[in-house]
Structure 1
Amino acid sequence: MASKQLILFFGGLALFAVLLTFGANFFLRRIHVEPPQPFTPLPISSGGSQESDDGGMFQIQKGTVDRRPVRYGPDGFSPRTIAIHESDDLGCLITVINQSDAPLKVGASPHDPAGDPGANYGEIAPGKAGVLDVRYSGLTEIMLHNHASPAHEFVVTYGPGCD
């Protein structure tokens, strides 16, 4: 008698599992999910200026001005520390202006001759500027450097909305 009850119990359990599987499959197929949109980078604005208007601001595109660019010259980066906030002109992005005579490749510290950790920001030509997103999940600040001169470093601290 106990074995008959055991067979009925496990048979009922198996039937329940089968019904649950088919029922879940039936309802999940009815849910319409849009495919993810492909990533498209922001277009490069032709209306931007690479020149500083008054030495204190850098115009990225018409109507958008970064009042706190990081400049790179023979003595390294200036300022050496910058805090970014979601409410800044460019939000959590930073502008790096290359005022040196050589291309500038910004990398995350610590320096690795084979390739720095983090994103590849490409090179910034002499006299040009680059807009970088230097946020990394789980960090509150990051140290960046010139890949060609690793001793030239600056720190970006993530403020409200950028962490």
Structure 2
Amino acid sequence: MNLRLIGIGAGVLIILSLPLAGAIAGPDFAGPADGKGGGLLSSLGLSDSSRTADGVRAADGRARPGPPEQPRTDSHCGPQLTAPQGLEAQTCVLVSEGRTWGRSYYRNTSGRALDAVLTVMGPAGRTVQISCAVAAGDEPGLCETPREESVGAPDAYSAVAEFAVPDEEGRLLLRSGSNPAAASGR
């Protein structure tokens, strides 16, 4: 009786493994990329359609899954500066897709609201300026000019942000520029 059960079990295993063996050895092993449909690897989500019929790896021209690539943004920034009154700022010129703009990052822990003016200066006397209200608090913020069409080289642009007390005197607390800090000479 034991031999009979072993024989029947072996027969069942062989019958059940035939579709698996056929899928592995069959002509549609590579999956849907070969134009013949299915395949074991593709049914398991493991298809490697970058292999040709002779097993050689081909160049993968398919789009990669995931979010689309963002355009590259280049920047040149000045140093991060701190005013004794509790204001930190760093100003940059940014360039992407043929457009240039200025941005100033800040943190205002002075305990009072401030005014900021951000100016971007470009070649041929081109200037863009924007005013920003700087709320009091420990949260970081930014002031940014509109993006304008680039004219000339990116290093021909510079930006300056001025942070002042919003009263009739407009006392300047901090001026932050996009130019790197000057190297100390020996």
TM-score, normalised by the number of residues in structure 1: 0.33
Greater fraction of residues in strand: 2
